[in-house]
Every structure is written in structure tokens, then in C-alpha cells.
Structure 1
Amino acid sequence: MDHRRLGRTDLTVSALCLGTMTWGEQNTQQEAFAQIERAKAAGINFMDTAEMYPVPPRPETYSATETIIGNWFKARGDRADWVLASKVAGPGNTINHIRQAPLKHNRKNIVAALDASLQRLQTDWIDLYQLHWPERSTNFFGQLGYQHQEQEDLTPLEETLLVLNEQVKAGKIRHVGLSNETPWGTMKFLALAESRGLTRPVSIQNPYNLLNRSFEVGMAEVAIREQCGLLAYSPLAFGLLSGKYENGARPANGRLSRLSLFSRFTRYNSTQTAAANSQYIALAREHSLDPAQMALAFVTAQPFVTSNIIGATSLEQLDSNLASAKLVLSAEVLAGIEAIHKNQPNPAP
């Protein structure tokens, strides 16, 4: 397993990161423990979670994922072996069960969220603490075009950084990251951090996959030049790129098979997405490749990617995803990917 430097820090993280958002909803604690054990044996040292997980966010399951991870640390005593990332939630109409609305990136919310996460995770520190999404209204979670909205009472970005900086000094977190952020937001945070001598964001966690390469348009240069690398989430586009939904198939535990529970992810259901997805799957099979492994290997190989966040609901899926770390795509396969992308760019933003 390749390991890469996290931003400008002294931490190195595995090129694949263990995603956890199914734990407590689609996976039991026992199944989650088995995934952690398997991933660690494969050389993964990086695990990503969030106070909001599991997904979809529901009052009945809120914070179950962090609790499961904390139980693992208590049972195994290997906290020091892991680079642990978590996130503080931002505002949203569907998450009023988290603390007390409105959720903001201010002192009250960040300190309360962080302290609760530390308690659930049964640890004294979080290595990478991320803002899960911006407090302001901007283009994220499937919205490509920016539509400006005047908003009052937004927490100044400098205030958010000041609070995070205090938590770093207190030893509760080691580093700060962004998530679902835009080029403007990323550069603004970086500029404020440097001009005010505050903790500098070391990473950005945004979606990136064969069906959504929008990160390349405005963010890739930022990630490379500012050493604020991408932690790529949804690298299989909600499982579409694995091929398991081809020809109308709906596997029992697949998220797109359970639209009553995962109805918010409509961007994966368009005809354009289905058409492009079928072409990528056909390309993989033409070259005797597993479609999921091809899709993952493409993401991991990008120069702006620090780590590729993989998730699974079974050990078989996890083993397949782990095997992608050894796959090097040929020039012919890469040319085929670019041809499909040129014909149908970013159908699932």
C-alpha cells in the first residue's frame, strides 16, 4: 500500500482510506470491526468518519458510526496506529436532530461537536478535523452551477479558523481539513490562515469519480500548488461504477435499490449517467478488468489525490476495492476513459 504525505504535515496516510458511513445503518458493529481488521492488514492506516454518520442521517442512528469506531479503539487499543479523520456538520434542513439548530461553524457548535466526537470515538485527539460542508449557500452536493444568494448572519471564515486553531493548540485536533468546498472557499481559508498565522487546511474532501470529474476544473490546481490534496469520496459513484446495477439489476443491499432510504441521491439516476456508466463498464470488461477496480485505480492515480476513500458493505467488496491499489491502468485504457469523458463529461455531479 502506497503512503502519501498529508498536506504539509509530518503525517503520511495510505493511498486508500477506509470510509465508514455505512456503519450503523447498512453494517453492524461486528461487520465494521471485520472491515477495520481487513483494511489494517492490507496496509491502510487512514480512517474517515463524521459526527453525522451513518448516511442517510436519521435521529435513530445519529453518531452510531463514531461510537462503533470508539468501541474498536477500546477493544483493540490501537488508536495510535491510525490517522483518524472526522467532520463537524454544517446547516441543513434534514439534520435538525444534530445538536440544536441552526448549525453553524462558530465556537459554540465546533467545540460542542468536537467534544462529543472525542467522547464517542474514545480518543483524546482527532488527527484531521474537517468542516463537512460550507455554512454558506454555494455549489456542492450535486450542484455544478453557482447561484448567488445573499445571506446574513454567516460565521466569518476567520472566526471559524480561530476556533479550530484553538482546538489545535489544546491538543484536541492535530490538523484541519475542508470538505465539499469550492475554489473560492478553499483559497480564502488558505489565505486567511497564512495571513493570520492560523492553522492551515491540509486537505479537501470532495466527490471525484469517472462520472464526476468536476474537481479537475477549478480545484485540481489548488490542490497541487497549495499542497491541499484531495481526499476523494464517492469514487464508485454510489456503486454505479462497479457494474452491479447494470441492465436494471437491483441487488438487495445496494443503496440505489433502496430509494426510499437514499432518495436524496437523485443525481445518480439520470439517463446521461446511466449511458456514460455503461460505457465505462464496457471499457473495463473489454480489457478484462473489474469495473470497480478500474474506476478506483483511476482516482488513486491522479496527482492531486492524497487518498481515495473506499467504502463497502461486505468483506468481498472491501477485498476487491483493496486490490485496486495494485492496479496500474494501461495507456489504452486511459485513452478509452478520456474518450468517454469527452463525449459525456460529468453526468453525475
Structure 2
Amino acid sequence: MKRVTLGGSDIEVSRICLGTMTFGNQTDEDQAHRQMDMALEAGMTFMDCAEMYPVNPVRAETIGLSEEVIGRWLARTGNRDRVEIATKITGPSQILRDGKPFDGDTIRQTIDASLRRLQTDRIDLYQLHWPVRGSYAFRQNWNFDPSGQDKARTLDHMADVLEALAEGVRAGKLRGVGLSNESAWGLTRWCDVADRTGGPRMAAIQNEYSPLYRMYDTDLAEAAVNEDVTLLSYSPLAAGLLTGKYADGAMPEGSRAAVDKATGGQGNLGGRKTKRGLKAAAAYGALAADHGWDVVHMVIAWQLTRPFKVVPIIGATTTDQLAHLIEGLDRDLPEDLIRGIDRLHRSHGLPY
């Protein structure tokens, strides 16, 4: 598999990343370890986690379990030097730290906690899961209200956090740092403050990106190109909506939507499974079929054609799903299919 460098850092990773947010919940430890074996066999050395994982649902008693699953795999296999590990500190959440925003002191503590769970001496990419000032991610864009933000307080917070991150880099605990669920304004300010204080520059930004959710394409893409920051795109398959498995009201047993509904959620894939979303997903599925492509392979290959640096994060509940994803990772998308995706985007822009 081809390899890429994250932003302006010296961190080289596989051009596809394995997501691990179901490890320890929907994906039991044996399957999780097999998935990491499979990924490594395919040349996929980059793996992404977070302190709050596993998800669907997030529970206080399972916080950190996905990191622990990865840590036991690293300890058992001795593969630490063969892979790149990314993880994240959770933003304000009632599940962790009583909803209090993180600061530099929190960062110092959570880095060490993640290192213990991962059973490693270093984290290749340490990310801020979402901003303490709020985010429009996860369908919050429909009523996003930044009017209560305080620029001076935000910049002071950034300087404090970057100081702690710089300490982690100097100590060899972190190789690089990144953002997640950030805005164009936030990305540029993090870079500005890093330049002013001598702190580490952001190498990556992990935001949602798929044919059904292309908010990154304009201001964020411009900011990332000019600041040399790589997109780590999560939910490239729109949480499974683009696979077609939810068509015609279907709710497959064990699917993300079914598990969410069974545990008290709405089963709507975080607001993605709407009438317009299902219609758009069906259109992309038909386009792929017309060109002789599996829609899953088409969507991942399309991401790699974008005019900015991007590393798609692929996640799978089962090893069979991961094997299917891996089958299509080395295919290049033909120009006529790329144009077809562009045409559908104009017809189905932001369908959820």
C-alpha cells in the first residue's frame, strides 16, 4: 500500500487508516486483533483510536477499552515498530471529567493514561477530539451558534494546550499532534498560535467526509492546503448508509443503527439516516453498479482523488466486512466515474 506523510510532519503512514471505535463493544477482542492482523497484512499500518472508545453507545464503564484492546495486541505481537498509532483526548463530555473542558494539565494526564492503556512509550498522532468552544460536527451545523465564543479566552486555551503538547513531543511521548471536528477558523488559529509560541503545528485534522457530507470541500480544504494539514476522513461510508444495507427500511441485525436503537438511541446513524440521505445513498449505489464497481470500493477510491491531502479511515464491525473493504483498496477510479460523482453531488448536496 502507498504511504503518505501527515501534513508538515515527518510522520509517514499508510494512505488508508484502520478505525477502531467498535473494538471492545460490537467487535470483540479476538475479532479486533484479527482485524489488526489483516490490516497489517494489507500494508495498512495506520490505526486510529480515542480515549472515549468504544462507541455505540459510549458508556462510562467502557471508556478506554478500545485502547486497551490495541495495547494487548501490541504486547502480544510485538508489532509496535510496524504500525502508527493515533488517539485522541475527548472534548467536553458528561461521560468524562464531568463535562469540564480540557486544559494543559488535563492533556498531560490523558497522554500518560493513553500510553498505559496502549502499552507503548509513544503515540504517533495525538488529536483533540473536538474543540472546547463547541463544534458544528455531528449534525449540529443546522443550528450552530458561535455567538458565545470569546476569542481571547480561546487563544489563551490554545497556548496552554500547545505548551502541554510540546512537552509531550519533547519527552518523546508524542510524535505529532492533530485536531478533530474542527472548523477553518479553529484550524488556522491553532497554526497561528503554534507559530507564535513555538508549539507543535497541527499535522492532521480528523473530520467527517463522504460523498454525502462534503462540508470540508471549501473553507476547510483551503485552510488545510495552505497550512499543510492532512485530512483524516472519518465516516467515509456515512456510517454504513452508503453501503445500501439500510435501503427500503432495512435494519440488519448487529448493524450500527440496530445496536443504537437497541440501546436506547434513535437508530438513525447520528442523524444521517433521513429520507434524503437514503435517496442519495441509493443514487450513489446505482452509479457504482452502472460502472461495474462496488459502491464501498468506489467511495474509498474517490476520496483519494480529492485535490487536498486525505487519508480515509475505514472501520468494520466484522473481519468479513474488513476483508471486503481491503479487496478494493488498490483500484484507481476512472475519470468518467469521478464526473458522475460530481454530478450526483450537485443533485444531492448535504442530504442530512
TM-score relative to the length of structure 2: 0.93
Unaligned runs of 5+ in 1: none
> CA separation in 2, counterparts of 1:65 and 1:266?
21
Instruction: Give aligned-pair identity as a percent.
Output: 39
Alignment match, 2:38: 38
Is 2:128 the partner of 1:147?
no
Q: How does 1:296-311 map to 2 (within 5 A)?
A: 296-311=300-315
> CA separation in 2, counterparts of 1:337 and 1:67?
39
> CA separation in 2, counterparts of 1:12 and 1:43?
13
> CA separation in 1, counterparts of 2:137 and 2:271?
12
Retained in 1: the 8 A contact 2:19–2:313? yes
Is 2:124 the partner of 1:120?
no
Cα shift at 1:297? 1.1
Does the residue aligned with 2:200 lie in a helix, a strand or coil? coil
User: Which shifted more, 249-258 or 84-93?
Assistant: 249-258
> C-alpha offsets along residues 90-119 of structure 1, whole Å, 9 cap, x if unaligned?
1023x2xx2x32332312311121111110
Which of 315, 319, 327 is residue 319 of structure 2 equivalent to? 315
Give the letter aligned to residue 197 of structure 1: G
Q: CA RMSD in A?
A: 1.6
Alignment match, 1:133: 130
Cα shift at 1:149? 3.6
> CA separation in 2, counterparts of 1:151 and 1:330?
45
> CA separation in 2, counterparts of 1:222 and 1:319?
35
Alignment match, 1:14: 14
Alignment match, 2:23: 23
Cα shift at 1:151? 5.0
> C-alpha offsets along residues 141-184 of structure 1, whole Å, 9 cap, x if unaligned?
22235412425776621111111111111211111100000000
Which of 95, 98, 103 is residue 100 of structure 2 equivalent to? 103
> CA separation in 1, counterparts of 2:188 and 2:229?
10
Alignment match, 1:160: 161
> CA separation in 2, counterparts of 1:221 and 1:239?
28
> CA separation in 2, counterparts of 1:138 and 1:16?
25
Aligned residues: 344
Unaligned runs of 5+ in 2: none
> C-alpha offsets along residues 27-51 of structure 1, whole Å, 9 cap, x if unaligned?
1110001000000000011000000
Alignment match, 1:223: 224
TM-score relative to the length of structure 1: 0.94
> CA separation in 2, counterparts of 1:266 and 1:174?
32
> CA separation in 2, counterparts of 1:225 and 1:84?
26
Retained in 2: the 8 A contact 1:138–1:147? no
Cα shift at 1:318? 0.7
> CA separation in 1, counterparts of 2:73 and 2:304?
27
Give the letter aligned to residue 106 of structure 1: D
Greater share of helix residues, 1 or 2?
Answer: 2
User: Which shifted more, 119-128 or 296-305?
Assistant: 296-305
Alignment match, 1:244: 245
Retained in 2: the 8 A contact 1:5–1:306? no
Cα shift at 1:69? 0.4
> CA separation in 2, counterparts of 1:3 and 1:302?
16
> CA separation in 1, counterparts of 2:313 and 2:322?
12
